[in-house]
Homo-oligomer: A and B are copies of this chain.
């Protein structure tokens, strides 16, 4: 272990489980790829769990081992940052179902000695959270100071409050929702169909020869990527500007900058992500409906916890618009919980939570410091 809190520890553990899943299946073993930053204090009261988004990973503040790029939330996590690795013991674990070291379709099925592929059990957000709790047990963390997440990470944070109400002191939910809407499901379904239409997908059994359904995955990523950006943001960034050649080609190359940007987003994604993992994680998100898990009333999901909540939305986020955050806030109010809510202004749509946002940093910083 390095003592330098700026660097995560590329950690991996395989726990025997079994982990009981919402589908009725049981997962064993349960593998975790995870990073920790900072140190657990003596009374074990300074642990913060960060939950990542659909295509995120545990490298929240560490260089990504495949791309070499800096962590995806170094603006928020690090020494002196709102999630201060010199004060807090920060944990970020690859969700189960994913492909960066935690159990997922690309990991080994002990029953066959080969990759699970589509024999991997279908998961829910709650299953991901139960797995995280298992990891915390292993790490000796009984109670979290806070659980923090944006987008799918926010769904996990909400599910934490509902599933382990006594194990959390605070919940930060950013650019997220308590349920996936019909439009959310529709976009994900397009992505899944793009992957499964790729002949290289072969029912998910593509791990043997390295010919993965990259073309389908790239299309899935492109479609999803549009939903992460606002129309105004796209217009500001690209408008109708052409590529360098400065004239229409009257062909089918990427004439517009926005086209080549999207193609790049699609292609670069295939180098770091597994297509089957994309199927499993989008499915878990589409299944997510926290109210449904609690008798159809969202407030019921929160009654058992004493955690404080901080809910943040962005005004140009059309994937999980502010009204979805307001629905969470109303439910928390109905359950008489401590909740602060803010809608921040940003031109960048859903992706705003990952980008430079002094206001977001101030909100998270202030909220976490209240309990000090």
Contact = CB atoms under 8 A, between A and B. Distances in A.
Contacts of A279: 252
Contacts of A181: 231, 234-235, 240
A196 interface: yes
A215 interface: yes
A240 B182 contact: yes
Nearest to A289: B240
- Number of this chain's copies in the assembly equals 2
A193 interface: yes
Interface residues of A, number: 58
Nearest to A213: B197
Contact of A256 (B121, B185, B219, B240): B185
A97 to B, nearest CB: 12
A23 interface: yes
Q: Is the interface of A mostly helix, strand, loop or mixed?
A: helix
Given A196-B252, A222-B190, A248-B287, A182 B122 contact: no
A197 B179 CA distance: 32
Interface string A207-227: 000000001101100110010
A168 interface: no
A300 to B, nearest CB: 17
Interface in A259-275: 259, 262-263, 266
A166 to B, nearest CB: 28
Contacts of A23: 250
A181 to B, nearest CB: 6
Nearest to A239: B182
23 contacts: A181-B240, A182-B235, A182-B237, A182-B239, A183-B231, A185-B256, A186-B234, A187-B226, A189-B256, A189-B259, A190-B222, A190-B223, A193-B219, A193-B263, A194-B194, A194-B197, A194-B219, A197-B215, A197-B216, A199-B199, A223-B223, A240-B292, A318-B318
